[in-house]
């Protein structure tokens, strides 16, 4: 099997609280291949964003390790780009400078000014914001801010894209356009992507694999392989059964997460035993 671009092995993560260590997630494994989109689904608060920070090298796991191209990840990597739930734009820089920000930092690949400008131009054009390049974050809508954050990722020519609900604030049409853009980037550049979303349809349309996190501490409750060609918008029948399966598992996970959060508050948690399963949808053609 090919060396995965990103590999996470036996990841456990948690936070120290006054009451003690609160374990959020454990036994998480992931092998991400170039050109593959893996989606993480799970109830709110289950630990998806925390896990993404670990995969980005921004937060150390309690246990386990993350490898990028076979090498242990010890911190942020220039070819791993992250778009957070909050677009995190710098308010004193205009859109163009926000996209360019950090491209000349010393851990980035050496690039001349002309090359940096070209990358910024291409990234802004890719998300369709040429007309707004001089605007400041306070002058952008939520959707424009999210597209700016995506452009900032693209300008880094990433091998791995880690996207935390990147399309959450977009209207239907822009969202569909941005989904297509993501698919195009992944296909053309063979970028690997981990996408967090609460939208099962988005997961089904975009990903090769869907991992559902649940339980306390969280772990993979299910994995679905979506072995269907793109575009998938018309493949309603093939995706339908998978959607029902995922929704059922997500509902169970959400109810158990809610009741646990209500009863346990922030106290250290016991493991809830659940059997992981895998399903696959394949093209009938």
Q: How far is the CB of 235 from Mg ion (least distance, A)?
A: 28
Q: How far is the CB of 16 from ligand ATP (least distance, A)?
A: 8
**How crowded is the C-beta side of 208, counted as CA atoms within 13 Å?**
14
- Asked whether 62 and 23 are in contact (CB, 8 A), the reply is yes
- H-assigned helices in the chain: 48-55, 95-100, 113-126, 142-154, 172-189, 200-206, 236-264
Cis omega (within 30 of 0) for bond into 231: yes
Beta carbons within 8 Å of 133's beta carbon, 6+ residues apart? 94, 95, 96, 124
Nearer to ligand ATP, 33 or 85 (CB): 85
**The entry of ligand ATP, Mg ion, none that residue 219 binds, CB within 5 to 8 Å by partner kind:** none
Q: How far is the CB of 261 from ligand ATP (least distance, A)?
A: 8
- Asked whether 35 and 207 are in contact (CB, 8 A), the reply is no
**Which candidate, 36, 33, 18, 140, places its Cα nearest to that of 90?**
140
**The entry of ligand ATP, Mg ion, none that residue 15 binds, CB within 5 to 8 Å by partner kind:** ligand ATP
Q: How far is the CB of 182 from Mg ion (least distance, A)?
A: 18
- Name the β-bridge partners of 56: none
Nearer to ligand ATP, 85 or 274 (CB): 85
User: Which residues sit at the interface with ligand ATP, rule CB under 6 A?
Assistant: 15, 24, 42, 44-50, 85
Nearer to Mg ion, 52 or 100 (CB): 52
Q: Within the chain, how many helices (H) and strands (E) appear?
A: 7, 11
Q: How far is the CB of 164 from Mg ion (least distance, A)?
A: 6
Nearer to ligand ATP, 46 or 100 (CB): 46
Nearer to ligand ATP, 49 or 108 (CB): 49
**The entry of Mg ion, ligand ATP, none that residue 24 binds, CB within 5 to 8 Å by partner kind:** ligand ATP
**How crowded is the C-beta side of 284, counted as CA atoms within 13 Å?**
5
Nearer to ligand ATP, 45 or 64 (CB): 45
Widest CA span of the chain, in angstroms?
A: 57
User: Which residues sit at the interface with Mg ion, rule CB under 5 A?
Assistant: 49
Q: How far is the CB of 272 from ligand ATP (least distance, A)?
A: 15
């Amino acid at each position: 099997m090919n060396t995965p671009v990103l590999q996470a092995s036996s990841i456990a993560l948690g936070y120290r609280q006054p009451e003690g260590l609160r374990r959020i997630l454990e036994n998480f494994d992931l092998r991400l291949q170039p050109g593959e989109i893996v989606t993480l689904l799970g109830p709110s608060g289950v630990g998806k964003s925390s896990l993404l920070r670990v995969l980005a090298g921004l937060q150390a796991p309690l246990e386990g390790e993350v490898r990028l191209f076979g090498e242990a990840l010890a911190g942020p990597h220039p070819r791993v780009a992250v778009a957070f739930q909050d677009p995190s734009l710098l308010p004193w820089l205009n859109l163009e400078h926000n996209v360019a920000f950090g491209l000349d930092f010393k851990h980035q690949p050496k690039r001349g000014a002309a090359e940096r400008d070209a990358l910024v131009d291409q990234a802004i054009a890719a998300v369709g914001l040429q007309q707004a390049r001089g605007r400041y974050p306070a002058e952008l809508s939520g959707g424009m801010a999210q597209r700016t954050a995506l452009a900032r990722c693209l300008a880094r020519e990433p091998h791995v894209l880690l996207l935390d609900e990147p399309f959450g604030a977009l209207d239907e049409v822009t969202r569909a356009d941005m989904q297509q853009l993501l698919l195009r980037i992944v296909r053309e550049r063979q970028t690997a992507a981990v996408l967090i979303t609460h939208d099962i349809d988005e997961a089904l349309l975009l990903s090769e694999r869907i991992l559902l996190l649940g339980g306390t501490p969280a772990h993979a409750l299910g994995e679905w392989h979506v072995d269907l060609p793109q575009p998938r918008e018309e493949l309603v029948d093939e995706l339908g059964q998978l959607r029902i399966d995922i929704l059922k598992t997500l509902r169970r996970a959400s109810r158990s997460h809610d009741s646990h959060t209500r009863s346990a508050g922030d106290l250290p948690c016991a493991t809830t035993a659940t059997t992981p399963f895998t399903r696959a949808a394949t093209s009938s053609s």
